[in-house]
Structure 1
Amino acid sequence: MEILTLNGNNLSTMGQLGPMPNLRILRLAENPWLCDCRLRWMKKIISNSHLLARNTLCHRPAHLHSRMLGNINETLMKCSGIEKRAATSCRDASVCPSVCTCTETTIDCRDRGLTHIPANLPSTTTELRLEQNQITYVPPRAFHNLHQLKR
């Protein structure tokens, strides 16, 4: 394969591509990329080539929004414990909610217009920020699997 175009989809993350020695052009623009530890491999490819995925912008987390993936310092591409495991193992049902930002064990969903508490929160969560939303009901056992929750 010489050209791979995935522009304009709804991709937020992508597993590492296998060997493609003939790949000349890789297009990944216009996707809501979550620039966390799982995309470090992609950042390295982009940084080392002028023809591969030049216009790839980060959508999340908020501190990297609209920044070019190839120009980001890898140390800013962090994952929580659950995402680190997902980067090297099978898909886990508990992930950072798409409308929130997550760093290490903190889930920040402040002022996101939420009407309900996000489901499938990582069990490693120690801080859950839900201020300034439109949540009107907290279901029983909403936080039952969050044994490490402190705040």
Structure 2
Amino acid sequence: HLARNPFLCDCHIRWLNAYLREKQIETSGVRCARPRRMAKQKFGVLKDQRFRCQNRMQYLQSANNAQCEIECPTRCTCAKTTVTCRGLQLREIPNDIPKFTTEL
């Protein structure tokens, strides 16, 4: 249940906001908890540019070019910036999704 999670609305979760907005998925009124400038903002409808990291570091390029192994959620498979948990009949989103994830 998304609404019970305190979301840190920075550049690392921009992809989820965009996904929820594009697919018009019901979010149970989930809101950002941090950073302070985003607190209580409704998640899933915000513009992507609002999701910034303080140090402006962008991990996506690093992840796509990286030749290192990343930890993948149990039973899922990972390839570059994609985590696949298809067909596992999960009841909740795994909590150990890599920071670099752009597709779940």
TM-score by length of 2: 0.49
Which gives a bigger RCO, structure 1 or 2 (Cα 8 Å, sep 6+)? 2
Choose between structure 1 and 2: higher helix proportion: 2
TM-score by length of 1: 0.35
Structure 1 or 2, whichever has the larger Rg, is 1
